[in-house]
Amino acid sequence: MKRIYVNEKWCLGCHLCEYFCVYANSGISDMTEAIKNKPFVPRVNVECAENSTFAVNCRQCENPICVSACISGALSKNDDGIITVDKSKCVGCGSCVMVCPFGAISVDGNGVANKCELCFSNSFGSPLCVTHCPNNAIVFEER
């Protein structure tokens, strides 16, 4: 399956991935309207290490421990191997946040789990963070 991989060497730390992520998942067609004066909870985060930056989003683990820790059944792996959140089932307990070893899941402003679903369920259909990374530091491929 195609997954997102990150090459830290190429990351400019521009945070564009975060903006395009919020836009992609907003359901709003105008980017400014989607982001300005709205809660900013991207599903990809640019982390800062000493002298370097890199983007982190869900790794779509083969054996996802977030799914096994989920008390509500909101998290599951779909037939394509993508780990998805059923927001109507999530009770916001944070068990997934507690176990994700990458720190790639958060709880959004509505108190439900928020994670990368590879843009498969929004109108873009493939990860916008990848398309808009200016330096190819985030790629979407089979490995």
- The binding site for other proteins (CB under 8 A) comprises 3, 5-8, 45, 47-50, 52, 54, 56, 59, 61-62, 65, 68-73, 88-89, 91-95, 97-103, 105-107, 143
Q: How far apart are CA 20 and CA 87, in angstroms?
A: 21
> Shortest approach of other proteins to residue 24 CB, angstroms?
21
Contact 75, 66 (CB under 8 A): yes
Residue among 56 and 93 whose Cβ is closer to ligand FAD: 93
Of 93 and 112, which CB lies nearer to ligand FAD in the complex structure?
93
∠ CA 114-118-121 to the nearest 5 degrees? 80
The CA distance from 127 to 132, in Å, is 9
Tokens of 49: 């290490």
Looking at residue 9, what DSSP letter applies? G
Binding mask 69-98 for ligand FAD (x = CB under 6 A): --x---------------------x-----
- Measured from the CB atom, the residue of 1 and 71 that comes closer to ligand FAD is 71
- By CB under 6 A, the count of residues binding ligand FAD is 2
| Count of Cβ atoms closer than 10 Å to residue 72 Cβ | 17
CB nearer to other proteins: pick between 2 and 31: 2
Give how far the C-alpha of residue 132 lies from the chain's centroid of Cα atoms, to the nearest Å: 15
The residue to which tokens 């369920």 are assigned = 121
Residue 89 binds: one of ligand FAD, other proteins, none (C-beta under 5 to 8 A by kind): other proteins
In the complex, the residues that contact ligand FAD under the rule CB under 6 A are 71, 93
